[in-house]
Amino acid sequence: MTLQALMADLAFLGDRATTSAAVLAHHGQSETHIRSRLPDLVVFPQSTDEVAQIAAACTRHGVPMTGWGAGTSLEGHALTPFGGVTVDFTRMDAVLAVFPEDMLVVVQPGITRERLNEELRATGLFFPVDPGANASLGGMAMTRASGTTAVRYGTMRENVLGLEVVLADGSVIRTGSSAPKSSAGYDLTALMVGSEGTLGLITELTLRLHGQPEAVSAASCAFGDIGAAVDCVIATIQMGLPMARIEFLDVASVAACNAWSGQDLPLMPLLLVEFHGSPASVAEQAGRFGDIARDYGSTGFRWAKAQEDRTQLWKMRHQAYPAILASRPGATAIVTDVCVPISALAEAVEETRADIDASPIPGPILGHVGDGNFHAILLVQPNDATELAVAKRLAARMAERALRLGGTITGEHGIGMGKLGYMAAEHGAAWGVMGAIKQALDPAGLMNPGKLVARK
């Protein structure tokens, strides 16, 4: 049997290679409606050399291999539709080196963003990419994650300078460098960031750090309707105001968050904003934004200047997904993730809200609207085929709308299994080029099969 032969080759892992039913079940879960068969084996490497041996053994035996970080992805990226081996990186979670003068850090892929920032606290630096979930840095790189702070600090694409990657045959390559820029050949770092584990397994990352701001101020402000709130965002971005965060919640999202966290935010379309800088610049930014918001009918601000108040505000925002799930007990979700040019944002959000309101299922809307990215959480009963079909039609229309407006089907969650059907519409012949790259680096199609590119 292939699995038995593979396990014999992986005997060096000892009890860090397991077929325990509980462990397999844990690695077969998804945050959303997406389901698949369980992996046949889960392994827990502790070094790049071990990952290389695992990959080489899987290739020899023709067994698929899929990376696992924190399990927080929303499109089934870490599931195993064809079985095989799940490579769990949670034991490769070290900070390997910090270079404060260069504002860089080198880490293993299993470390989470929250723990990295705890480790960096004494340096005066921080890693800014904040997708909400306490995701692993390796998983964030593989999905090209972003989040609430992307409007100022960029996404994983801008903050990953170099990688160490194990390819399908077990060979190890390094991409990028610690230099601020390079013109040396193909940008393999950019190729790997967002590849969702279909080209290789990340075993080390060199990340760009940023200085902790001297002053921070945050606030929530309410608007009379969705259009006014989104138009305020558009005006703010077009004026070049350097927001650190600017988030949107519609009325349904606010209601869910209030019920979940005990807040009493007004049941109106809401913007959550944050400013970073010196005390003087933060005060100036807040004042300028206040003027813009008033021009669009804002009903006033609730300031969160104290650290405790800011923590509560953003904790509420980061817990919006479980809060929205709880608003319909027993429901699961199709989580949409479109991104459009900022000039088209109001049209996209308002058309999406009207589309959902005309359907029989609930779908709160929220998002990182400072960079044109928003989500509808389409809530369905797990075993209701009719509701699931409705949600999929709504998601398809959102994707089509985003493409019509010059946007993309995913701003940050990635493709995984959930959005595979939209890739041809977005990329056309370029999707075939992606398949050719996959074929060149993984000719047997063993690296996270069934994700991102069509499986041959």
Is 444 a domain residue? no
**What's the CATH number where 201 sits?**
3.30.465.10
| Percent of the chain predicted with pLDDT > 70 | 100
**pTM recorded for the entire structure:** 0.94
What's the rounded Cα separation, in Å, for the pair 168 and 57? Answer: 10
- Mean pLDDT rounded to a whole number for the chain: 94
Are 20 and 167 contained in the same domain?
yes
CB 31 within 8 A of CB 72: yes
Q: Indicate whether 456 pLDDT > 80.
A: no
Are 255 and 371 contained in the same domain?
no
Are 239 and 375 contained in the same domain?
no
Averaged pLDDT, 107-132: 95
Is 448 a domain residue? no
Is 113 a domain residue? yes
Examine the fold and report which residue of 302, 322, 342 is the final residue of a domain before the chain moves on: 322
Are 100 and 16 contained in the same domain?
yes
The phi-psi region of residue 273 (left if phi > 0; otherwise alpha if psi is between -120 and 50; otherwise beta) is: beta
Query: Which residue shows structure tokens 């005997």?
Result: 11
Is 455 a domain residue? no
Q: Indicate whether 88 pLDDT > 80.
A: yes
- 360: CB partners within 8 A, 6+ apart: 387, 390
Is 428 a domain residue? no
CB-facing half-sphere around the CA of 330: CA atoms within 13 A: 4
For residue 329, what are its two tokens? 């007990």
Question: Which residues partner with 14 through β-bridges?
Answer: none
First and final C-alpha spacing in the chain: 24
Q: What is the pLDDT of residue 309?
A: 87
**What's the CATH number where 368 sits?**
3.30.70.2740
Confidence of residue 1 (pLDDT cuts 50, 70, 90): low
For residue 406, what are its two tokens? 């010059």
3-state class of 403 per DSSP? helix
Examine the fold and report which residue of 266, 299, 322 is the final residue of a domain before the chain moves on: 322
Are 158 and 237 contained in the same domain?
no
Angle at 337 between CA 404 and CA 374, to 5 degrees: 85
Higher pLDDT, 309 or 441: 441
Are 292 and 392 contained in the same domain?
no
Q: What is the pLDDT of residue 2?
A: 83
Q: What is the pLDDT of residue 105?
A: 98
Is 432 a domain residue? no
Is 430 a domain residue? no
Are 43 and 173 contained in the same domain?
yes
Task: List pLDDT tens digits, range 245-273.
Answer: 999 999 999 999 999 998 889 999 999 99
Averaged pLDDT, 217-234: 93
Are 334 and 303 contained in the same domain?
no
**What element of type H or E holds 306?**
none
Angle at 19 between CA 37 and CA 64, to 5 degrees: 50
Domain extent, residue 56, equals 1-212
What's the rounded Cα separation, in Å, for the pair 316 and 323? Answer: 9
Provide the number of structural domains found in the chain. 3
**What's the CATH number where 250 sits?**
3.30.70.3450
Q: Indicate whether 31 pLDDT > 90.
A: no
Is 450 a domain residue? no
Examine the fold and report which residue of 322, 352, 381 is the final residue of a domain before the chain moves on: 322
Residue type, 192: M
Are 132 and 62 contained in the same domain?
yes
Are 54 and 171 contained in the same domain?
yes
**What element of type H or E holds 164?**
strand 160-166
Q: Indicate whether 300 pLDDT > 80.
A: no
Q: What is the pLDDT of residue 151?
A: 92
Residue type, 149: T
Task: List pLDDT tens digits, range 33-80.
Answer: 888 899 999 999 999 999 999 999 999 999 999 999 999 888 999 999
What's the rounded Cα separation, in Å, for the pair 359 and 252? Answer: 15
Are 337 and 373 contained in the same domain?
yes
Do you know the residue count of the chain? Answer: 456
Task: List pLDDT tens digits, range 121-172.
Answer: 999 999 999 988 899 999 999 999 998 999 999 999 999 999 999 999 999 9
Are 225 and 196 contained in the same domain?
no
Tell which residue, 348, 401, 341, 399, has the closest CA to residue 372: 341
